[in-house]
Structures are given as C-alpha cells and as structure tokens.
Amino acid sequence: IGTYSLAIAAQAHKIPFFVAAPLSTVDFKLATGREIPIEERHPSEIYQVGETRLCPEGVEFYNPAFDVTPAELITAIITEKGAVAPGKLIRLK
C-alpha cells in the first residue's frame, strides 16, 4: 500500500514514476485496474496492538490489502523482460 500516493506526489513534482514488478503480477485479461477486486483486511490491524485498542469504539476503518495505481501516473513498468509504458505491457506477454 502506498504506491498510488507516491505516484500522485511524483506527478505533482513532475518526477517520472517507475514501478518494478514481475510479469506474474499482471493480469492481461483486465482492460484496466478498475476491475481488480481489492481484498480488505480486518480493521483491527490498524486500531489494535496486542490487546490494546488505540481508538474509541465506533470509529470506522477501511483497510485494503493493496492499492491500484492508475496507468496514467506511471512512466514505465520495469519487469524481468524489460521496461515498457503501461499501455505497452502486452508486448512482454
């Protein structure tokens, strides 16, 4: 988690943003990342340490297991087969 926020910060400062990932993490059947189901982890991972609760009862949390970074924020994806712009990943399949 955190890739999306880093990509936004890079864009705001006009810094190229590269992602390093194995091709095994790419689902070539999906047109965009919008179709990726985001696993949600239990909120207690955020608000609890051991048996100690760190916030008041009733506070709600969203605890995604990962985030999805939109392709337009990515300069290139670096894989074991080379580096390409996000829209050109199919060339590495």
Greatest C-alpha distance within the chain: 51
* 32-49 tens-digit pLDDT: 878 888 899 999 999 999
Fold of 3-92: Rossmann fold (3.40.50)
Res 72 pLDDT > 90: yes
Q: What is the DSSP code string of 21-39?
A: --GGG--TT-SSGGGPPPP
> What's the chain's average pLDDT?
91
Are 41 and 64 contacting, i.e. CB atoms less than 8 angstroms apart? yes
Q: What is the pLDDT of residue 31?
A: 79
How many CB atoms are located within 10 Å of the residue 86 CB?
18
Q: Residues near 7 by Cβ (< 8 Å), separated by ≥ 6?
A: 17, 69, 70, 73, 74
* Predicted pLDDT at 42: 92
Domain ranges across the chain: 3-92
Percent of residues in the chain assigned helix, strand, coil, to nearest 5:
30, 15, 50
What is the mean pLDDT of the segment spanning 67-86?
92
Percentage of the chain lying above the pLDDT 90 cut: 65
Q: Is the pLDDT assigned to residue 55 strictly greater than 80? A: yes
Residue with tokens 């939109």: 70
Q: What is the pLDDT of residue 88?
A: 87
